[in-house]
Structure 1
Amino acid sequence: MGKLELYAIDVSAPCRAVLLTLKALNLPYEYKLVNLMTGENRTPEYLAINPHGTVPTLVDDRVVLTDSHAIITYVVDKYGTDDSLYPKDLVLRAKVNQALFYEATVVFDRTLLSISKPIFTNNTVVPVAKIDAVYKVYEQLESFLQAHPYFAGEQLTVADFSLVATVTALFPFAELDAGKYPKIHEWIRRLEQLPYYAEANAAGVKQYYDVLKAIGFKVLK
């Protein structure tokens, strides 16, 4: 195989989901920083690769993928030594997909992005209703984890990578109370034990927190 090229920035939750997956598979890749803060994603050179101007983008020879969910499932299918992270069993795969779709639509788009996008475009006042929506997500996640240690069942999958990258980005807006949400807390602690977690997710989360702190935001009650 040729070396994969990943266009990304670590403050991005979708990028961190891809990093977690690549590290889990022990795949070599070339990291190409795309600085969203300086508009590198809108340059003609980058738009020629990804017309959406989004991150992450994965280039694998002639294959170009521009969605984190497509990327993480693709690399497991193509390069995984087994299918544990994205099972081929029809029912198990459906459960992984279900969790991925939930993360993409509810946790990321309707919740995280609805708060963070205005902040990064100089609207730093967050309506309290959006914070309430975060706690609603926590309640749903806590419920999902009642019966199983991971979001698709008994084993770690790419759904957990996608969710943990986004969920940990919600903490600056709504602190996770371990007493109220013990299952989420335990799930995160399990993922933190992965040997690549600190590099692939925790470091980028800290960068994200630092950027938010520098910008500043307040909740309008």
Structure 2
Amino acid sequence: MDFYYSPRGSGCRTVIMVAKALGLELNKKLVNTMDGDQLKPEFVKLNPQHTIPTLVDNGFSIWESRAIVVYLIEQYAKDDSLFPKDPKEQALVNQRLYFDMGTLYESFAKYYYPLFRTGKPGTDEDFKKIESSFEYLNIFLEGQDYVAGDHLTVADIAILSSVSTFDIFDFDLSKYPNVARWYANAKKVTPGWDENWNGLLELKAVSHGLVAMPNLDLYNFPKAPASRAIQMVAKALGLELNSKLINTMEGDQLKPDFVKINPQHTIPTLVDNGFAIWESRAIAVYLVEKYGKPDSPLYPKDPHKRALINQRLYFDMGTLYDALTKYFFAVFRTGQFGDQEALDKVNSAFGFLNTFLEDQDFVAGSQLTVADIVILATVSTVQMFAFDLSKFPNVERWFNNAQKVTPGWEQNIESLQQGKKFLEDIKAAKEKEGKA
């Protein structure tokens, strides 16, 4: 039974404690998310959502900690005490599990996770949601020794993992007496508590070593492919960007203040503590080299691997993206697409990319790189238009997979939807001008 995990993760620690309670041995396989282990092809094949924890039991792969622990109990438990079969008792356990995921731990993530990206916690409003979550839990535990009934269940173990995570960040539990009483008892009666605490000590050591992230200003137009590429690269690196809108349709890029930053007046432009750099592909590489882990798989040190990534980046700029701008982007100026010659160049560019991806899951090697992210931003742009990717099966296969494994894809899609609406408004305005 292979268990892909990090000892610092709350969900991972939940599974460890439940396995201990069941007397199960887990073949633990460490996944270092800071180094991008979760994005490696062999892991993505097991879990296309590339999250931890992930359990593989004799070929059966399952992820999401609460789903894992219920599976382990139903598959291997000698009785139903941890997850009752009685519909009413089970419903209460399930409600507490969903409360843990959607309310209690969610409030932790909103307030404390920014520490790992920016060195600062969330907002006062985010902290109020934590207080509200503990008030609910305090009510649930009124006159109760356990969170879902009269004995220890999987709901106690999952919530214990979450509450102990707050504890390691010095959250004051004494304001919630029922929770504090339950917590003191849960630590004594839950198998695997010691391993849970050791994982928390690792988390605390990491959190104490955090420093504030740099002040990164990104001057951009979020609907544009180049801007979306940088947003996804930053997401992959855990960086926060101060997004500053430059509306090129209104000439913001020509304003004196911006021209002082970038005399070429192009977007996106990044300003990192006074250092200004533009051209999205240069920005992407800079961010990885400056803020990525040593020898990051996104842009590795090996000269052969780098050469291939660089070739794909130049291909994107000079061939693929260039073809899209000349055919599709003409509509932003004229309300019409480019001519047949321009369309032929689009098809030719996708044909080249299709060849590059023959028997390949990624555009520049065996794992996700900045080349994939940049080209993904470009290729996803055709979703704004009626362009059939199925004519290029390797590209279509890669595109479907890249969406799953690239951090920030959801934000990319959101910006694309805004871009599509923007395009529809422009076309409507052009048609109105033509009728006038």
Normalised TM-score (structure 2): 0.47
1:1-221 matched pairs, under 5 angstroms? 1-82=213-294, 83-109=296-322, 111-122=323-334, 124-173=336-385, 175-178=387-390, 180-194=391-405, 195-199=407-411, 201-216=412-427
Structure-2 change in CA distance of 1:196 and 1:148 (3 Å): same
Identity of aligned residues (%): 33
Q: Deviations over 1:94-117 (max 9, x none)?
A: 0000000100100112x0221345
Q: Deviations over 1:66-107 (max 9, x none)?
A: 110110000100100241000110100000000001001001
Amino acid paired to 2:236:
A
Counterpart secondary structure, 1:154: coil
Residue 134 of structure 1: how far off its partner (Å) = 1.3
Alpha-carbon distance between aligned partners in 2 of 1:174 and 1:45, rounded to the nearest angstrom: 38
- Higher relative contact order, chain-length normalized (CA < 8 Å, sep 6+): 1
Amino acid paired to 2:420:
Y
Counterpart secondary structure, 2:270: strand
Alpha-carbon distance between aligned partners in 1 of 2:316 and 2:408, rounded to the nearest angstrom: 22
Alpha-carbon distance between aligned partners in 1 of 2:334 and 2:300, rounded to the nearest angstrom: 42
Residue 209 of structure 1: how far off its partner (Å) = 2.1
Structure 1 gap ranges (5+): none
Alpha-carbon distance between aligned partners in 2 of 1:129 and 1:79, rounded to the nearest angstrom: 42
Alpha-carbon distance between aligned partners in 1 of 2:386 and 2:314, rounded to the nearest angstrom: 22
Q: Deviations over 1:140-195 (max 9, x none)?
A: 111110131111011000001111111222344551342x3222112111121134
Q: Deviations over 1:121-150 (max 9, x none)?
A: 336352122122211122111111013111
Alpha-carbon distance between aligned partners in 2 of 1:75 and 1:213, rounded to the nearest angstrom: 34
1:131–1:173 contact (8 Å) kept in structure 2? no
Structure-2 change in CA distance of 1:25 and 1:153 (3 Å): same
Deviates more, 1:129-138 or 1:4-13: 129-138
Deviates more, 1:78-87 or 1:111-120: 111-120
Amino acid paired to 1:176:
D
Structure 2 gap ranges (5+): 1-212, 432-436
Alpha-carbon distance between aligned partners in 2 of 1:38 and 1:124, rounded to the nearest angstrom: 20
1:17–1:162 contact (8 Å) kept in structure 2? yes
Deviates more, 1:12-21 or 1:35-44: 35-44
Alpha-carbon distance between aligned partners in 1 of 2:337 and 2:327, rounded to the nearest angstrom: 9
Alpha-carbon distance between aligned partners in 2 of 1:26 and 1:206, rounded to the nearest angstrom: 24
Alpha-carbon distance between aligned partners in 2 of 1:117 and 1:142, rounded to the nearest angstrom: 22
2:217–2:241 contact (8 Å) kept in structure 1? yes
Normalised TM-score (structure 1): 0.89
1:14–1:56 contact (8 Å) kept in structure 2? yes
Amino acid paired to 2:354:
E
Residue 44 of structure 1: how far off its partner (Å) = 1.1
Alpha-carbon distance between aligned partners in 2 of 1:204 and 1:146, rounded to the nearest angstrom: 30
Counterpart secondary structure, 1:121: helix
Alpha-carbon distance between aligned partners in 2 of 1:39 and 1:57, rounded to the nearest angstrom: 15
Q: Which has the larger radius of gyration?
A: 2
Counterpart secondary structure, 1:193: helix
Deviates more, 1:149-158 or 1:125-134: 125-134
Alpha-carbon distance between aligned partners in 1 of 2:417 and 2:219, rounded to the nearest angstrom: 20
